[in-house]
Structure 1
Amino acid sequence: MSMRSRGVAGLVLVVAVGLGLSSCGTIGSGNVGVRTTLGKINPEELEPGVYLGVPAISQVAEFSGKEIGVDLSDLTPKARDNLSLRDLDVTLYYRVATGQIADLTVKYAGQHVRDEGSRVTLPAHGLLSRLARNAIYEQAARIDSLVMHTQRDELASAVRRGLQAELDANDKGVFTITRVVIRALTTDPAIERTIQESVAAQKQLETTKQRVAIAEAEAQVEIKRAEGVARANQIINQSLTREYLQHESNLALMKFAEKGGATTVVIPANMQTAPLINIGK
């Protein structure tokens, strides 16, 4: 075998050994890879696509750059009135800036969680779970237990704002809390009874107010009717002058006189003018 042939064979052998010792994988769309070489983390994330690695020397972990959910169940925070909820289930969703995941791998080592279904690592999942729990307990303590079931959206918004502020204080621009969902909120049975009684009392109050409003409306109708009658009487009284009454009296006496025969006419003692009757023979 010539020297040239031996050189080519050797090169092929080296390539074959290299390929045998290497491994490859794929980073999914929306995710990034973090390479560790001889125990040292590469600060540059791997973009989605195919990568090569060497077993026992270089490994690549795929981290999620998509929206991640954190489920917190069976929480029992105390409300402002010092009464504990029976059950509170919350799910929060967050994203991590993909260009910061390699740094987070070092900063929050031990806080990442491997999703066994997708085999993708969820960055800082443990950190978010712990901080979210604290934020939920803190915000629930600002609302009375009797009204908390009516303020689920307000509680979720307060948790999102408080948690985002705490994350920004330590890692500005790295984490984004996209939403917080209150999946279930159950108060203590004693509180539930109080809530039901409060609702029943409120409905009774509304019914009473409605009845009072109806009664007041009916009274206003009667007042208007009475005012109308009084006004009519006032107009009539103003039209009954002394001359008008005398005229009406004369007309009545005239009719008696026209009938002829014996007629008795009673004239009031306080009548100031005598009737003027002129009857022809």
Structure 2
Amino acid sequence: MKRSLYPALLLALVGLTSCTVIRQGEVGVKRTLGKIKPGTLPEGVQIFNPLLTRIIKLPTRTVNLEVRAPLPSKEGLTVQSDISILYRVEGSYAPRIVEQIGPSYADVLILPVFRSAVTDVSSRYFAKDMHTGQRAEIERSIRDVMTNQLKDRGFVIESVLLKSISLPAGLTKAIEDKLAAEQDAQRMQFVLDKERQEAQRRIIEAEGTRDAQKIISEGLTPMLIRFKTVEAFNRLSTSPNSKVIITNGDSPLMLNADRLD
């Protein structure tokens, strides 16, 4: 009775090993008797003969390849950096990739191309440039070099990100000192600009006062002065207080009569 179960168990085992599931973000490549089939297998359950065929799965979603690499600089220094390579496989190239490169394409192709590109690009820049705003330019240049070498092989390089930069200790101190000096210079320039603006404001204010006084002095003609004198005499004559007025006819000098006692 037990022996009769062996064929059923064997058939069930074969059935379980003769199907596979290709998930989202993957394509399948079928290898039968050592030969790669030209097409790709889509998502879903795929049935195959495990004795003759093997299904190789390749991801078509974005893959993050983490690398720690030395970056040679233009002045001959070596800068350590943690780098992320974001890439993906074009599904239609999957059979060719498996046939010509193999499933270990990251180690066989992508990493060597990256190391060559990063050495070529970083050697054009000074070490301090990798720690400043030119980092984005370096990242784009590395990505462009890798794209030119890999686009015909079925790989899309989306981004190359320099996540951390470890500069030599002496260079780090020199960069910090330079940045501090630049900030001090900018602060001093701000103070000087403010003082210049204040000096300009005072000049304008003085010129305004001078022009106003000039206008007033030019408007004080002899006739106007005499008219103002007459007006003053008239107001004094109508005042109820007793006063002593001494005048030469041009301008009055008023004395309080109460204080003459």
Q: Give the TM-score normalised by the residue count of structure 2.
A: 0.72
Structure 2: gaps spanning 5 or more residues: 1-6, 230-245, 256-261
Deviation at 1:21, TM superposition (A): 6.9
Between the aligned partners of 1:34 and 1:248, the Cα distance in structure 2 is 111
Residues 139-166 of structure 1: CA distance to partner in whole angstroms, max 9, x if unpaired? 2233332232223333222222221122
SS of residue in 1 equivalent to 2:205:
helix
In the superposition, relative to structure 1, how do residues 26 and 20 fare at CA in structure 2: closer, same or farther (>3 Å)? closer
Match of 1:209 in 2: 189
Q: CA RMSD for the aligned pairs?
A: 3.5
In the superposition, relative to structure 1, how do residues 105 and 222 fare at CA in structure 2: closer, same or farther (>3 Å)? same
Deviation at 1:256, TM superposition (A): 8.3
Match of 1:42 in 2: 37
Q: Which amino acid aligns with 1:66?
A: R
Tell me which protein shows more strand as a share of its residues. 2
Between the aligned partners of 2:58 and 2:165, the Cα distance in structure 1 is 33
SS of residue in 2 equivalent to 1:66:
coil
SS of residue in 2 equivalent to 1:136:
helix
2:92 to 92, 99, 115: 99
Match of 1:224 in 2: 204
Structure 1: gaps spanning 5 or more residues: 1-13, 114-122, 260-281
In the alignment, does 2:132 pair up with 1:150? yes
Deviation at 1:82, TM superposition (A): 3.5
1:128 to 106, 110, 116: 110
Deviation at 1:242, TM superposition (A): 6.5
Q: Percent identity?
A: 21
Q: Which amino acid aligns with 1:52?
A: F
Residues 195-216 of structure 1: CA distance to partner in whole angstroms, max 9, x if unpaired? 1111111110111011101111
Q: Which amino acid aligns with 2:165?
A: L
Between the aligned partners of 1:244 and 1:34, the Cα distance in structure 2 is 109
1:71 to 66, 72, 91: 66
> Mean alpha-carbon deviation: is it higher for 31-40 or for 95-104?
31-40
In the superposition, relative to structure 1, how do residues 33 and 235 fare at CA in structure 2: closer, same or farther (>3 Å)? closer
Match of 2:232 in 1: none
Q: How many residues align?
A: 229
Deviation at 1:232, TM superposition (A): 2.9
SS of residue in 1 equivalent to 2:18:
strand
Match of 2:123 in 1: 141
Instruction: Report if aligned partners of 1:67, 1:93 keep a CA contact under 8 Å in 2.
Output: yes
Q: Give the TM-score normalised by the residue count of structure 1.
A: 0.68
Residues 230-275 of structure 1: CA distance to partner in whole angstroms, max 9, x if unpaired? 21332244345577789999x942378999xxxxxxxxxxxxxxxx
Between the aligned partners of 2:28 and 2:192, the Cα distance in structure 1 is 71
Q: Which amino acid aligns with 1:165?
A: N
In the superposition, relative to structure 1, how do residues 224 and 37 fare at CA in structure 2: closer, same or farther (>3 Å)? same
Deviation at 1:20, TM superposition (A): 7.4
Q: Which amino acid aligns with 1:71?
A: E
Between the aligned partners of 1:145 and 1:72, the Cα distance in structure 2 is 19
